[in-house]
Amino acid sequence: MPGILVWACGRFTTEEKAELARGSEVYLTHCVSCHGTEGDGLQGAYPTLLRPEIAKANTDRAIHLIRVGSGMEGGMKPIALTDKELVEVVNYIQNTWGNESPFITETTVQELANK
Ligand code: HEC
């Protein structure tokens, strides 16, 4: 499974590893068809998730795209996830394939919804 080597190397707590394992399930169900098993997308169609800016400043954008979509033709459509699943998958994409970012919680999502 993608990312397992990284998780095994001790950067993450047991709880974080469990969170990433849940996030990978959400990813494999809802995201892999476009963004690929290695998160590298499909050139010309679906963007790679392997960019530093994804893991750093773009949490709000990621959450927005998943909930609301981009409104672009061929772009991301809203994906129906619970807040918990949303948090899990964002933590997963931001901490897999060499990406690194602080873990978010459901509070992050709720704060964004209230903006
Ligand atoms: C139908 C194909 C498709 C699916 C399914 C999909 N995406 Fe996307 N994703 C895109 C496209 C296309 C873009 C580029 C923005 C746009 O045009 O909507 C994008 C953009 C993104 C971005 C922003 C990348 C950037 O450049 O900032 C993130 C993060 C992301 N997707 C995460 C996800 C996650 C997580 C899931 C699963 C919950 C998911 N996507 C499911 C097609 C998809």
Q: Of all residues in the chain, what percent carry a pLDDT higher than 90?
A: 54
13 lines ligand 1 (CB under 6 A): no
32 lines ligand 1 (CB under 6 A): no
Give the residue whose CA is nearest to atom 3 of ligand 1.
Answer: 34
pLDDT of residue 54: 60
**pLDDT higher than threshold 60 for residue 68:** yes
Q: Of all residues in the chain, what percent carry a pLDDT higher than 70?
A: 85
Q: What is the pLDDT of residues 13-54, one digit of tens each?
A: 999 999 999 999 999 999 999 999 999 998 888 988 887 656
Between residues 113 and 25, which one has the greater pLDDT? 25
Q: Which mutation among 65, 68, 77, 92 tests ligand 1's pocket best, with the greatest number of atoms within 8 A of CB?
A: 65
pLDDT of residue 112: 81
Between residues 114 and 29, which one has the greater pLDDT? 29
pLDDT of residue 5: 54
47 lines ligand 1 (CB under 6 A): yes
Contacts by 88-91, CB closer than 8 A, 24 or more apart:
88/19, 88/22, 88/23, 88/25, 88/26, 89/23, 89/26, 89/27, 89/30, 89/31, 90/23, 90/59, 90/62, 90/63, 90/66, 91/16, 91/19, 91/20, 91/23
